[in-house]
A and B are shown apart, each in its own frame.
Chain A
């Protein structure tokens, strides 16, 4: 079946704009993760959903970051009032068993 898909693949925002990043997980995967990957670094955990419940949001860097998964499938990561330091690749991963996480291609966000 299809893998994890993310849209848009690339997003350019002016500083102060709000952005919304979408993740379509693999069908049937109850676990969904968001990670942030800065240039030249490994991904860093942002938040975790089990179905529609957000069980861990300890990695969200500020209250400008918000994630939701209202129907336990598609998830949206929203960043309000974007700053230059938000420029990164945002990766979504889904899993049946938590340990084996399957990643999407990522959304590359550039804040000017």
Chain B
């Protein structure tokens, strides 16, 4: 079993929809949780990260972590065709002295005009 699990999709939504992307994790030692966006043939781009539990909002994006259920979510409001990409969740051990990221498989999102 992978430490971070993510449904690969694909997920297809109409423009303007609210998108919910989710991951689960198994290691209680994870303290930092990230969301990356990856366009085809590009490197991952950091969208946002949170420390421990709680919510964080940045424009149309909201990240949510529930440590009690080991659940990570990313919500995208008013989705745009330019949001079409693969979304990767990742986690870091709180005691890590390297900061190595443990990624999920990635969810492919298509926003149709």
A65 within 8 A of B: no
Q: Encode A37-48 as 1/0 by CB contact (under 8 A) with B.
A: 000111111001
Known pairs A40-B105, A41-B105; A95 contacts B42 (CB<8 A):
no
Interface pick from A13-21, A69-77, A80-88, A99-107: A99-107
| A101–B42 touching, CB < 8 Å | no
What chain B residues lie within 8 Å of A43 (beta carbons)? 44, 88, 101, 103
Closest chain A CB from B91 CB (angstroms): 11
A2, B45: Cα distance in complex, Å: 14
> Does chain B have a CB within 8 A of A61?
no
Residues in B42-100 with C-beta less than 8 Å from chain A:
42-46, 49, 88, 90, 92, 96-100
Closest to B36 in A: A103
Q: Does B8 contact A (CB under 8 A)?
A: yes
Set A4, A41, A45, A55: member contacting B101, Cβ < 8 A: A45
Within A31-61, the residues touching B (CB, 8 Å) are 31, 33, 35, 40-45, 48, 55-56, 59
If the complex has contacts A40-B105, A42-B104, are A98 and B99 also in contact, measured as CB distance less than 8 A?
A: yes
How many angstroms between the C-alpha atoms of A98 and B92 in the bound complex? 10
Interface size range on B against A: 20 to 34
Contacts of B42 in A (CB 8 A): 105-106
Contact B106 A102 (CB under 8 A): no
Assembly CA distance A23 to B90 (angstroms): 22
Q: How many A residues touch B, CB cutoff 8 Å?
A: 27
User: Which of B4, B32, B44, B90 has most A Cβ within 10 Å?
Assistant: B44
**Known contacts A41-B106, A99-B92: A48-B44 contact under CB 8 Å:** no
CB<8 Å pairs between A and B, sample of 29: A4-B43, A31-B99, A33-B99, A33-B100, A40-B8, A40-B106, A41-B105, A42-B4, A42-B106, A43-B44, A45-B100, A45-B101, A45-B102, A55-B98, A59-B100, A91-B43, A91-B44, A98-B98, A99-B49, A99-B92, A101-B46, A101-B99, A102-B46, A103-B43, A103-B44, A105-B42, A106-B42, A106-B43, A108-B41
